[in-house]
Amino acid sequence: MALKDAPIVKMLSFDEKEAYNHDRPISSLVRTQLLHLYTAENLWLPPEDRTNTNINNLHTEKQASEYIQQVTALLHRHGKRREQAQQAPSPRKSKKAKKVKPARPRKKKASASGKKSAAKKRGSRR
């Protein structure tokens, strides 16, 4: 395809001051992120470590940003403690532990048509 045939894309003007307005109301995308973080906070953090913030009172991007920073820091701190607890040496298992054998597949039962043919075979032998 020749360069002259390529479609032309017009770039829209970009206002940097408008892009970083902390007093702008939050979008539905940010609202969803707040909901996810709120859920994670209440599922994983013990009650004494939670922020106890009502996310319905967060209306601006600045308020949402502050909440996101707080909860993210708490979750990271809690995750490190949990990771360290999991890395603690576990007691050795006894050598007498039974090995579990994999289950064998079950044999299929003969179908009704299979029984008739077996009966015919038996009858023909007599």
Q: Is residue 46 in some structural domain?
A: yes
Task: Flag whether 102 is in a domain.
Answer: no
Residue 44 lies in a domain: yes
- Under DSSP, the state recorded for 30 is H
Q: Which residue, among 120, 115, 4, 20, has the nearest Cα to 61 in the 3D structure?
A: 20
- Does 50 or 105 have the greater pLDDT score? 50
Predicted pLDDT at 48:
94
Residue 53 domain flag: yes
Cα-based distances in Å from 98 to 90, 94, 95, 102, 103: 19, 10, 9, 13, 15
CA 46 – CA 41 distance, rounded (Å): 9
56: tokens are 């319905």
Residue 116: pLDDT over 90: no
**Is the pLDDT assigned to residue 60 strictly greater than 60?**
yes
121, part of any domain: no
Averaged pLDDT of the chain: 81
Flag whether 95 is in a domain. Answer: no
Domain that holds residue 27: 18-86
pTM of the model: 0.55
Number of structural domains the chain divides into: 1
Q: Render pLDDT for 106-115 as a digit per residue (tens, 0 to 9).
A: 777 766 555 5
Q: What percent of the chain has pLDDT over 90?
A: 44
**pLDDT category, 125, cuts 50, 70, 90?**
low
